[in-house]
């Protein structure tokens, strides 16, 4: 074999590799999605409730952050028993949030700024105060069949009891009796959220029309709520009666608690995935027309095996982003570096090779990062979310390190808290603390509202923890965040390979490398100093240059660390770049 041939054989795979890697990514593959909880973002008219005009007026802020898309929690007409997740008209805007014209202006402004708008799609249930449900109660057959009904069971004293033992996610029976029809309806969530009947083809078509209606307005896709609960078991397989669910292993908890049962008949049903693939077909009809990809992000707190099914089944495509909740559900401030690595590796291990991972550390249903981890780890968590391979999602306020607000029992409005009937322990499940108003500045109500009362109290400490102050402080969470959104545009973070390690119980580190460039991010989860050896990573030798630090670090960009003995102080988070790389 001639030398020329040999070089050819060596170069060929390299060229193929390079070609794959410079593939132009689609908009959603490289952007950051920023979740806005509209009720708490910005109040434009002083009624104490955030609204659409408030969002429109604040879109430039998203642009400054380097965010390219936002998903909005529900803005649709609702009696607000579950703050908009109980929708009474899927085709209309909730009045206190604005009008359809306001929404169209929001879309227009977003378009000018090149920010994609993603809406929340809540397919599992409607509202007990919707026309659909009211018609059902009047005996209108079409709408009666939109919901899931079942006969009660009479006990020996003639007392009517719910059809079976199913428990609502928000505690107590998942069945509610309606004397108008003499039956119980199913509500996997609050009583005001009757489940829709997906075994009725008219419901399937209606909900596809909801998707089409908003896509026609110009939105870029949907975040799909509570998807795992869509289908219940087919009761015809059980003699026409929904069967009891078996008891879960954990018997410490009381029978009203959702976790008391093993939800084999009401969660993660096979038909649910099929429905997701059908919705993807609808999104793709739109893409076929104009070439612009509409996205779907699915919310399911399920095992990795089940989560991956939302991507597709190998033949049919599903969601581009089945949410990866490991940073929310599986690790916290008390986790070790190994536990963090184990959790992060899960999604990467199970996901199909041709799909992208996604990372999210906070949302409107879970305590804030600063409270769930620690105030010191805010920047470190943002580094993980932004610099791991895949799509980044940020819950509003995580970029400035907002903390859970204190909401007294009297001020508690979240059904998850109220339904405990427990003025002492309600806060352990209430979602109000992570929903307190966004902290814009040090003025009245943190600049969220000019009103005298806000729907939830503003969190304490906003006078020093807000956007305005962090903008004018060079070392702030906000500025770390902005540098991260810039940094992730570098080819090494877009296309680079990934390796991670728990160097000891406290230190988690990961390497990204591409085309001769190597970055190492180091996060000290605990309150102890360490000297670490980063030459563990192949080709990490000599010196590392500091690129970015958490706000408490004494190190500054440009400082050099010795790879073989780098000193990392308590709770320090650093993004480092290898100075001398072997090409």
Ligand X SMILES: *[C@@H]1O[C@H](CO)[C@@H](O)[C@H](O)[C@H]1NC(C)=O
Q: Which residues are annotated as catalytic?
A: 225, 299
Binding flags for ligand X, 104-143, as an x/- string (CB under 6 A): ------------------------xx--------------
User: What residues are paired with 358 via a beta bridge?
Assistant: 391
| Strand-pair category, 116-121 with 69-72 | parallel
Distance linking the first and last C-alpha atoms of the chain: 26
| Shortest spacing between CB 123 and ligand X, in angstroms | 19
Q: Helix, strand, or coil here: 121?
A: strand
Looking up tokens 């429109």 gives 56
Q: In the complex, what is the shortest distance from the CB of residue 130 to ligand X, in angstroms, rounded to a whole number?
A: 10
Closer CB to ligand X, 184 or 311, in the complex: 184
By rule CB under 6 A, what count of residues binds ligand X?
6
* Region of 187-195, 224-232, 258-266, 503-511 interacting with ligand X (CB under 6 A): 187-195
Of 117-125, 220-228, 317-325, 533-541, the segment contacting Ca ion by CB under 5 A is 117-125
Q: Select from 55-63, 189-197, 253-261, 276-284 the region that touches ligand X (CB under 6 A).
A: 189-197
Report the residue number, 121 or 170, with the smaller CB distance to ligand X. 170
How far are the Cα atoms of 19, 58, 389, 516 from residue 496, in angstroms, in the given order? 14, 33, 8, 10
**Helix H or strand E segment including 11:** helix 3-21
Nearest residue (CB) to Ca ion, 27 versus 258: 258
Residues constituting the chain: 583
334-337-343 Cα angle (round to 5): 90
Question: Would you count residue 102 as binding Ca ion (CB under 5 A)?
Answer: no
Q: Is 376 in the site for Ca ion (CB under 5 A)?
A: no
The smaller minimum CB distance to Ca ion, of residues 45 and 562, is found at 45
Least distance to Ca ion from the beta carbon of 471, Å?
A: 24
The stretch near ligand X (CB under 6 A) out of 186-194, 291-299, 388-396, 549-557 is 186-194
Contact yes or no for 451/43 (Cβ under 8 A): yes
Binder among 190, 220, 331, 403 for ligand X (CB under 6 A): 190
Neighbours of 583 (CB within 10 A): 6
User: Binding of ligand X at residue 81 (CB under 6 A)?
Assistant: yes
196 or 283: whose CB is closer to Ca ion? 196
- Determine phi and psi for 261, rounding to 5 degrees: -115, 155
Kindly state whether residue 283 participates in binding ligand X, applying the rule CB under 6 A.
no
Least distance CB 81 / ligand X (angstroms): 4
Beta-carbon contacts of 493 under 8 Å, excluding residues fewer than 6 positions away, are: 386, 387, 389, 487, 512, 519
Q: How far is the CB of 176 from ligand X (least distance, A)?
A: 8
Is the CB of residue 51 less than 8 Å from the CB of residue 43? yes
User: Token pair 């289908």 is at which residue?
Assistant: 231
**Residue 81 contact among ligand X, Ca ion, none, beta carbon within 5 to 8 Å by kind:** ligand X
| Residue closest to 124 by CA, chosen among 198, 69, 43 | 198
How many amino acids of this chain bind Ca ion (CB under 5 A)? 8
What is the rounded CA–CA span in Å between residue 312 and residue 322?
Answer: 10
Minimum gap (Å) between residue 241 Cβ and Ca ion: 17
- Applying the rule CB under 5 A, the residues between 18 and 47 that interact with Ca ion are 43, 45, 47
Helix (H) or strand (E) holding 186: strand 183-186
The torsion angles phi and psi of 433, rounded to 5 degrees, stand at -55, -35
Residue 35 near which of ligand X, Ca ion, none (CB within 5-8 Å, type-dependent):
none
Nearer to Ca ion, 228 or 532 (CB): 228
- Residue 80 beta carbon to ligand X: minimum distance, rounded to whole angstroms: 10
Give the nearest distance from C-beta 129 to ligand X in angstroms.
Answer: 5
Within 237-276, the residues that bind ligand X by CB under 6 A are none
Whole-Å CA distances, 312 to 131, 273, 288, 431, 530: 34, 8, 19, 31, 44
Residue 174 binds ligand X, judged by CB under 6 A? no
Binding residue (CB under 5 A) for Ca ion from 32, 35, 40, 51: 51
By beta-carbon distance, which residue lies closest to ligand X? 192
Task: Based on DSSP, count helices (H) and strands (E) in the chain, helices before strands.
Answer: 17, 23
Residue number with CB closer to Ca ion (401 or 437)? 437
Beta bridge partners of 150: 184
* Among the listed residues 191, 392, 575, 576, the single contact to ligand X using CB under 6 A: 191
| Residue-wise DSSP of 533-555 | -GGGSTT--SEEEEEEE-TT-S-
Closest CB 136 distance from ligand X, rounded Å: 12
- Identify the DSSP state of 412: -
Beta bridge partners of 578: 544
Give the integer Cα–Cα distance in Å for 205 and 222: 17
Output 187 or 482, the one with its CB closest to ligand X. 187
Q: How many CB atoms lie within 10 A of CB 139?
A: 10
Among residues 86, 150, 195, 268, which is the contact residue for Ca ion, using CB under 5 A?
195
Binding site for Ca ion (CB under 5 A): 43, 45, 47, 49, 51, 124, 195, 229
Binding site for ligand X (CB under 6 A): 81, 128-129, 190-192
């Amino acid at each position: 074999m001639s030398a020329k041939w040999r070089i050819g054989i060596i170069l060929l795979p390299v060229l193929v590799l390079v070609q794959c890697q410079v593939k132009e990514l689609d908009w959603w593959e490289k952007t950051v999605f920023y979740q806005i909880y509209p009720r708490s973002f910005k109040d434009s008219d002083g009624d104490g409730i955030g609204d659409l005009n408030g969002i429109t007026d604040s879109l430039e802020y998203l642009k400054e952050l380097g965010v390219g898309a936002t998903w909005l929690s529900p803005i649709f007409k609702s009696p607000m028993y579950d703050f908009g997740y109980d929708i009474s008209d899927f085709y209309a805007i909730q009045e206190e949030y604005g009008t359809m014209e306001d929404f169209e202006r929001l879309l227009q402004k977003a378009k000018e700024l090149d920010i994609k708008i993603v809406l929340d799609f809540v397919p599992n249930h409607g509202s007990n105060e919707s026309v659909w449900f009211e018609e059902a109660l009047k005996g209108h057959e079409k709408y009666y069949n939109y919901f899931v009904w079942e006969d009660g069971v009479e006990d020996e004293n003639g007392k009517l009891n719910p059809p079976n033992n199913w428990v609502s996610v928000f505690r107590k029976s998942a069945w509610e009796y309606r004397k108008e029809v003499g039956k119980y309806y199913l509500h996997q969530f609050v009583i005001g959220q009757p489940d829709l009947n997906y075994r009725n083809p008219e419901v399937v078509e209606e909900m596809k029309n909801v998707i089409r209606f908003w896509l026609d307005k110009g939105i870029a896709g949907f975040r799909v709520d509570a998807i795992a609960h869509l289908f219940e078991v087919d009761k015809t397989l059980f003699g026409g009666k929904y069967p009891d669910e078996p008891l879960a292993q954990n018997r410490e908890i009381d029978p009203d608690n959702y976790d008391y049962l093993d939800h084999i008949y009401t969660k993660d049903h096979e038909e649910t995935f099929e429905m997701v693939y059908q919705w993807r077909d609808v999104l793709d009809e739109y893409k076929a027309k104009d070439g612009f990809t509409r996205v779907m992000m699915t919310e399911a707190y399920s095992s990795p095996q089940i989560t991956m099914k939302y991507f597709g089944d190998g033949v049919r495509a599903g969601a581009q982003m089945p949410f990866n909740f490991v940073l929310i559900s599986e690790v916290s401030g008390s986790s070790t570096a190994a536990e963090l690595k184990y959790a992060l590796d899960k999604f990467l291990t199970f996901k199909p090779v041709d799909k992208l991972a996604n990372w999210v550390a906070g949302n409107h249903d879970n305590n804030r990062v600063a409270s769930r981890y620690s105030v010191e780890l805010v920047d470190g968590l943002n580094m993980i979310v932004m610099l791991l391979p895949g799509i980044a999602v940020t819950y509003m306020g995580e970029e400035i390190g907002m903390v859970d607000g204190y909401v007294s029992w009297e001020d508690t409005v979240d059904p998850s808290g109220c339904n405990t009937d427990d003025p002492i322990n309600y806060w352990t499940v209430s979602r109000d603390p992570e929903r307190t108003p966004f902290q814009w500045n040090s003025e009245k109500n943190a600049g969220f509202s000019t009103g005298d009362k806000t729907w939830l109290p503003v969190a304490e400490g906003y006078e020093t923890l807000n956007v305005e102050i962090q903008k004018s402080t060079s070392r702030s969470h906000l500025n770390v965040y902005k540098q991260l959104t810039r940094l992730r545009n570098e080819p090494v973070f877009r296309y680079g390979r990934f390796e991670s390690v728990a160097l000891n119980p406290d230190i988690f580190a990961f390497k990204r490398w591409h085309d001769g460039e190597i970055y190492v991010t180091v996060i000290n989860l605990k309150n102890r100093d360490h000297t670490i050896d980063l030459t563990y990573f192949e080709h990490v030798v000599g010196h590392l240059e500091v690129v970015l630090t958490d706000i408490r670090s004494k190190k500054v960009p440009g400082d050099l660390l010795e790879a073989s003995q780098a000193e990392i102080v308590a709770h320090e988070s650093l993004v480092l770049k290898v100075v001398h790389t072997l090409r």
